[in-house]
Structure formats: C-alpha cells, structure tokens
Amino acid sequence: MNTVTNKTVLVTGGARGIGKGLARACLAEGARVIITNLDTAVAAATVDELSAMGEIRAIRCDATDRSAVDSMLDDIWGNEGPVDIAFSNAGTGDMAPILDMPIEAVHKLFSTNFDSALHLAQSYAPRLIEADRPGHIMFTGSEHSLDMPPWCADLGFGIYGATKHAMLVIAEWLRSELQGTGVSVSVLMPGPVVTEGLQATFEALAANPDDPALRSRFSKSTELGLRERFISTERCAEIALRGLKEGLFFIPAQPHIKDDVDARYRELSAAFETLGLANR
C-alpha cells in the first residue's frame, strides 16, 4: 500500500484530533475519504472545512456496536466501493488511577478503545478476503502500547494504557492470521499530540497557571513533559502515511518513545541476567 491516491479511505473518529489530521492528509494526496463521528454537528463542520480538498463525507457510527459497523461498511461499499485503507482511530483517553476507576468505567473505556477496533477488523477484513482484494488496517495505538511513559506517571492513564497494549497484541496476532490474504496491518503509536482537547488545556493553563482543578490533573512537570514532546496532528498524519508507504507494522511518531522502549528492554535484559536465563 504505497499510495493513498485514488484510494477509498475510512477514518473512524475522523472529525477531530489525529483522525482529522489523517483525513486531511489523505485528501491532500487524492484519496476519497469517509469519516465517522458520534457528534453529527462536529462531523458536518469537519466535512465543510475539508471538502475543498477533495471528496469527503461523514457517517454517524457507534463503533462499539458491531451491527452499526456492519451497516457503515455496507453503506460505503454501496456508494464509494470497497475500502482500501481503514484507519481504526476511534477512541478516548479517560484519566483515573487504576485503584480508583470503577469497573463500569473500565468496561466503557475498553469498549470505546478496543472493542471498536476489533469490530472494524472483524467486519472489514473478511469482505476483502472474500473479494480477493488487498487492503490495510492501521490501528491508532499509542506510546502506551509499548511501555509506561515515565514522564506522565501522574496522569492516571493506567487503564487507557491497558487498552492500547491490548490493541497492539490484537494487531500482532491479526498480522499473523492475515498472512497471504493481501490484507495488511499496522499500528500508529504517537506520544502526545496537540488535539483540540490538549490545546484547550494549554490555553486554560496559560490563563490560570495555578488553577487547582487543572493542576490536580496536570502537574507542572507533566505540563512540561507534554510541551517538550507534543507534535501536531498534521505531523502525526504525515508520519502515519510515511509508515504506511514504507510497509511498516510499528509506526512510532516521536523520538522520545525509543528512549522509553530502550529502558524497558534494559530492565527485561537485566531480569534475564539475574535469573540466569540470558545465555542458552
């Protein structure tokens, strides 16, 4: 999948944030784009904003509902034709310490971040296999798919990180299961990206740096970590498409992620050494 030009592209959660960046980047390269969003007004505004760049429309789809995903893909297949590239991007980032998050909130977060991705894969890939067509699924994971980023330890992203770890595992197994079918898989793994929500947080902190409600969630050290590491949605999308064209499975989006992965590797290697398992 070395180009998106003249391809039909689906971006779930494509009206804001990383998804909107992906939609914009694909339109700029000549793709036909379909985005999904639960808020039809937000989706319509994004379509209005981006329509001058090319062919784009929005479908309301609750991706936590498998039947809704099936209906969405039926709609696209009947109008634009088969989807060449599916960006499984719908998700959210609830924050709470692991010991404080009610199990109902845990289930809801997994439903939004993980179940939605699984539903899309289970509905999308078999259609391509049956038609003997190539295609690609890119899951929006996170640096949390690979490790616990130490700079954001007080953000309460433990359960969120679990959903992104789970997405990576599913993607790895799915890549294996799809060998020989023409359907390929990748995982986009960004660190902090300046989405609308993060931008609003920065603006609120600029207006009132000592706001106790904000500082209870964003300490000054966490704010500094975000500011040192964030990239724009446009940059994230640029990296995503480059990774797609290069045929990569892992698509990290920032250099600091390698430092965190290397630290985990060193700790694992030390454990093998300590247990006398390093040499066979």
List, by residue number, the catalytic residues.
160
The continuous run of DSSP H or E covering 247 comes out as none
Q: How far apart are CA 85 and CA 137, in angstroms?
A: 6
The continuous run of DSSP H or E covering 252 comes out as strand 250-252
Contacts of 9 by beta carbon, 8 Å cutoff, 6+ apart: 23, 26, 31, 32, 33, 34, 83, 84, 85, 86, 87
Cβ–Cβ under 8 Å, residues 28 and 53: yes
Q: How far apart are CA 152 and CA 18, in angstroms?
A: 20
Cβ–Cβ under 8 Å, residues 127 and 121: no
